[in-house]
Structure 1
């Protein structure tokens, strides 16, 4: 009795309607008019391939990522350039102030010595103030260091200030 009204077959038995050669049921997928059939197996090609209007989106994503990386690298370079210039200006101001204090303690002109030391460190001394007498004084030096122009509108120089007093020998 192989009729439909006869005994029903289990999933493991071969034969019957809707069963494949290995005993598994195959479902037929309903196709819409726009689906393309791939190889006659009932699977649509659009299920496996992205739609045509999304092709090239990975390229555009990578172009965007590269632009962001380039901008971040440029900004990092600008920040690093200014940080280096500030550190060099501070070091030059400290050295000029200390040299001026030593020169003043020895009886020389502290500002002239500080100016030559600042120039040797590729900075320009903008102010030199000496407050006090020959034995008890404070020399204040302000220097300016030029920064290469990286972008219009950014500062062209950085400045630093340092103070130094009389140098005494240890007791």
Structure 2
């Protein structure tokens, strides 16, 4: 009986102890894949929110600059534009002289998906400036 093992020998027992380890490995990999996809969705949502905040800040600053050119309140126009785009004005400043002005607007946009992770951002704040060209 050379080369053949009988039941109960050392080689069989080693294989029996490893039964089910593949299932645990596949389960663990599945959890890692789900976590990676979830984090990817959150990251893409946050990046999209930051981009949207930049766009709304630009629009609000341009609206404020246009209002300032026709002697209206620049910050009110910037707030109206931000609210129309589901954002909020965080700060608004008009630096005006007799011949020139700059409207600086900061807006905040809520980020999606909303997650309750410690340290995770819940809004993006961006600032834009607008004024006449020389």
Using the size of structure 2 for normalisation, the TM-score is: 0.85
Indicate the structure whose relative CO is greater, using CA pairs within 8 Å and at least 6 residues apart: 2
Secondary structure of the corresponding residue to residue 51 of structure 1: helix
Q: Deviation at 1:152?
A: 3.0
Q: What is the rounded CA distance, in whole Å, between the counterparts of 1:134 and 1:97 in structure 2?
A: 20
Q: What is the rounded CA distance, in whole Å, between the counterparts of 1:30 and 1:131 in structure 2?
A: 92
Give the superposed CA RMSD. 2.4
Q: What is the rounded CA distance, in whole Å, between the counterparts of 2:126 and 2:66 in structure 1?
A: 20
* Aligned position for 1:151: 116
* Aligned position for 1:55: 19
Using the size of structure 1 for normalisation, the TM-score is: 0.68
CA 1:115–1:30 in structure 2 vs 1: closer, same or farther (change >3 Å)?
closer
* Aligned position for 1:100: 64
Greater shift after overlay, 148-157 or 122-131?
148-157
Write out aligned runs for 1:51-90 (5 A): 51-90=15-54
Task: Please list every run of 5 or more consecutive structure 2 residues that lacks an aligned counterpart in the other structure.
Answer: none
Q: Which runs of 4+ in 1 moved over 3 A?
A: none
Q: Deviation at 1:157?
A: 1.4
**Greater per-residue strand proportion:** 2
Alignment: residue pair count: 130
Select the structure of larger CA radius of gyration. Answer: 1
